[in-house]
């Protein structure tokens, strides 16, 4: 889908694309899941060769950040579908050519519609594609911060569940399988968020260097430097969350081992406690002819009593030693 925005009273306005070509002086050209015809239309209008999806997925820095024909080509990894069980890390290209910004994306990060809604309703700095790019990157950074805040809150909830005082509610069993699954989902989302922040930090560094060399707007350069500091801080926070998730994973596995050991201990104590009654039952189950106790009128009650007593004495001993 091809969407072209123009400036109107310092706000964004979607232009009419009924006619061939592009509107004059486009401010922002947004390509979402572009078709081959839409790509050719933009390339013909701006005399630029747009990167393909395969080129956007390259991980080399030189393939993601470069300058060609006085246009800046920048690709970062952004997150999409972060509220689902299958979050995505999608490559998004930002192309700054003169006063026009172009974006190419094959997903719908929430930062894009959030920025568009804000820029279409409220006055903002939409004087050039450079200003739109800075504001859009600001929205992307805010969205990344929101994602990390949600991850941190979810991790705290899982941590409280793992380390809760189980003696307060002994009847409520913890589902460690569900806990491990939740930890895995949060770890996957956090790793994708950190990957996105690292790529965003490289993009901002590249953009700041080129805008300073071109002596661009001081206000935009200062905003970008502030964003770069924020991204570095968020990257450090994502690393901290990664360490916390690893600790929580180790702690959960330790809790699983403790509960398994407790169950095995119960079975071990039970087997030891029933060994003496089993021995007595085995003795009097033998088919020898000369066994005086077999002719006793009270032989059966005595045997039952011995078995109960031999099971009770080990149980009391284990209880006194604190093994139960």
User: Can you tell me the distance from the alpha carbon of 130 to that of 221, in angstroms, rounded to the nearest whole number?
Assistant: 10
Domain range 2-261, CATH class: alpha beta
Long-range Cβ contact pairs of 157-160 (< 8 A, separation 24 or more): 158/182, 158/183, 158/186, 158/248, 159/244, 159/248
Give 195's Cβ-side CA count (13 Å radius).
17
- What's the CA gap between 264 and 320, in Å, rounded? 19
Token pair, residue 320, equals 């006194």
CA distance 5 to 204: 23
pTM: 0.78
pLDDT, tens digit only, all 324 positions of the chain: 888 888 777 777 877 777 777 777 788 888 999 888 888 888 888 888 888 888 888 888 888 898 888 889 999 999 988 888 888 999 999 998 888 899 999 988 888 888 888 887 876 667 788 888 998 999 999 999 999 999 999 999 998 888 876 554 544 567 888 889 999 999 999 999 999 999 999 999 999 988 888 777 788 888 899 999 999 999 999 999 999 999 999 998 888 888 888 788 778 877 887 888 888 888 877 777 777 777 788 888 888 888 888 888 887 877 787 766
**Would you list the domain boundaries of the chain?**
2-261, 274-321
């Amino acid at each position: 889908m091809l969407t072209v925005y123009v400036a109107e009273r310092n706000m964004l306005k979607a232009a009419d694309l009924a006619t061939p070509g592009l509107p004059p002086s486009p401010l922002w050209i947004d390509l979402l899941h572009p078709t081959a015809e839409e790509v050719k239309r933009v390339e013909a209008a701006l005399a630029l060769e747009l990167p393909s999806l395969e080129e956007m997925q390259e991980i080399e820095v030189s393939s993601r950040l470069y300058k060609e024909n006085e246009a800046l080509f920048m690709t970062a990894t952004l997150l999409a579908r972060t509220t689902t069980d299958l979050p995505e890390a999608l490559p998004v290209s930002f192309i700054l050519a003169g006063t026009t910004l172009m974006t190419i994306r094959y997903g719908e990060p929430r930062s894009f519609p959030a920025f568009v809604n804000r820029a279409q309703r409220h006055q903002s700095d939409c004087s050039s594609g450079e200003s739109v790019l800075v504001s859009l990157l600001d929205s992307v950074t805010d969205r990344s911060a929101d994602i990390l805040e949600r991850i941190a809150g979810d991790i705290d909830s899982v941590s409280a569940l793992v380390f809760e005082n189980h003696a307060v509610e002994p009847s409520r069993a913890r589902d460690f399988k569900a806990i491990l699954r939740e930890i895995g989902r949060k770890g996957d989302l956090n790793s994708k968020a950190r990957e996105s922040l690292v790529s965003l930090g490289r993009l901002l560094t590249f953009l700041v260097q080129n805008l300073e060399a071109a002596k661009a707007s001081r206000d935009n350069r200062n905003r970008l430097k502030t964003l770069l500091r924020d991204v570095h801080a968020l990257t450090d926070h994502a690393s901290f969350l990664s360490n916390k998730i690893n600790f929580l994973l180790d702690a959960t596995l330790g809790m699983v081992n403790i509960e398994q050991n407790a169950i095995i201990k119960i079975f071990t104590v039970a087997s030891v406690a029933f060994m003496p009654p089993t021995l007595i039952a085995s003795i009097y189950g033998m088919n020898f002819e000369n066994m005086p106790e077999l002719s006793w009128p009270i032989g059966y009650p005595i045997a039952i009593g011995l078995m109960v007593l031999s099971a009770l004495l080990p149980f009391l001993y284990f209880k006194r030693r604190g093994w139960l």
